[in-house]
Amino acid sequence: MRRDIFQAIADPTRRAIIALLAIQAMTPNNLATHFDTTRQAVSKHLKVLTECELVTQQYQGREIYYLLEIEKMKEIDKWLEQFRKIWETRFSQLDDLLSAIKKQQK
Amino acid sequence: MRRDIFQAIADPTRRAIIALLAIQAMTPNNLATHFDTTRQAVSKHLKVLTECELVTQQYQGREIYYLLEIEKMKEIDKWLEQFRKIWETRFSQLDDLLSAIKKQQK
DNA sequence: TATATTTGCAACCAGTTGGTTTCATACAAA
DNA sequence: TTTGTATGAAACCAACTGGTTGCAAATATA
């Protein structure tokens, strides 16, 4: 089963969970109150996030606090790096090609 | 149908297509030679990318050049911003909470 | 101990996804 | 004009997704 960080952030509910956990660690029950779904659905999202190592668990009695592994988020940043290089260059290779094609069409 | 940039980059083939188009515009046929799937599958990915406005088309005779709209990639960067703020702060709120929980457990 | 709470897991389900094959259309070249 | 090439669209399919309900286990509380 494909299970990477890009798949993890593809779902809007999971992105919201990540954002909530970025502020503070929370239990599944607590998290579920923020959404319009059942606790079990949130739990399933947490399972996906755990498998991607985006969250870890902190057991406290019968409660389980989920913590965001913010370092993992850097993987997205790392992937974006190649594009950042391009968009930070005003006259990029892309623009050159585009101009070339347009010129060719005249 | 959910169709946003986060879903667009969830698929590894689509990420590869994006990376290729970042270097230079290409036709579906040309793109397909880089992958182990059929041209039609690549075409479907291009359709998703088009619907997300991540690529545009440049018609040239019977060929269609697909161009990456690199500006759109900034949306991911924008979303990451909230987390960058956190990971750039050494003693974040998250660390504080983690410490608090650990302390509480002793 | 009996009861309530927190949680994960399994089973099920409809909708989506990513792939295929087949076909029609549009343009280029012989 | 005939043939070949580039492409998108449709139909189909197995696998995955995100959701549900029901249940069992573990911990807390009366």
What's the pLDDT at B89?
76
For the record, the structure tokens of B12 come out as 């590894």
Q: Examine the pLDDT at B49 and tell me if it is beyond 60.
A: yes
pLDDT in tens, A23-37: 999 999 999 999 999
Does residue A41 belong to the interface with chain B, where contact is any CB pair within 8 Å?
no
Across the interface, whether the CB atoms of B93 and A12 are under 8 A apart is answered: no
Tally of domains within chain B: 2
pLDDT in tens, A6-15: 999 999 999 9
For the record, the structure tokens of A19 come out as 């954002």
Check which CATH number belongs to the domain holding A9 and give it: 1.10.10.10
Task: Of A3-17, A31-45, B90-104, give the lowest mean pLDDT range.
Answer: B90-104
Same domain, A52 and A80: no
Same domain, B62 and B12: yes
Q: How close B39 gets to chain A, by Cα (Å)?
A: 22
Other beta carbons within 10 Å of A70: 18
Residue A21 beta carbon within 7 A of nucleic strand C? no
Task: Report the greatest alpha carbon distance in chain A.
Answer: 73
Of B9, B83, B101, the CB nearest to A60: B101
CB A86 within 8 A of CB B70: yes
Same domain, A31 and A56: yes
**In chain B, residues 36 through 65 whose Cβ sits under 7 angstroms from any atom of nucleic acid strand C:** 37-38, 40-41, 44-45, 48, 61-62
Helix/strand/coil for A56:
strand
Model confidence at B35, pLDDT cuts 50, 70, 90, reads: very high
Question: What is this model's ipTM?
Answer: 0.84
Same domain, B57 and B94: no
In this prediction the pTM is 0.84
What's the pLDDT at B97?
64
Same domain, A60 and A82: no
Mean pLDDT, range B31-44, rounded to an integer: 97
Helix/strand/coil for B33:
coil
For residue A92, what are the domain limits?
A: 74-105
Same domain, A41 and A64: yes
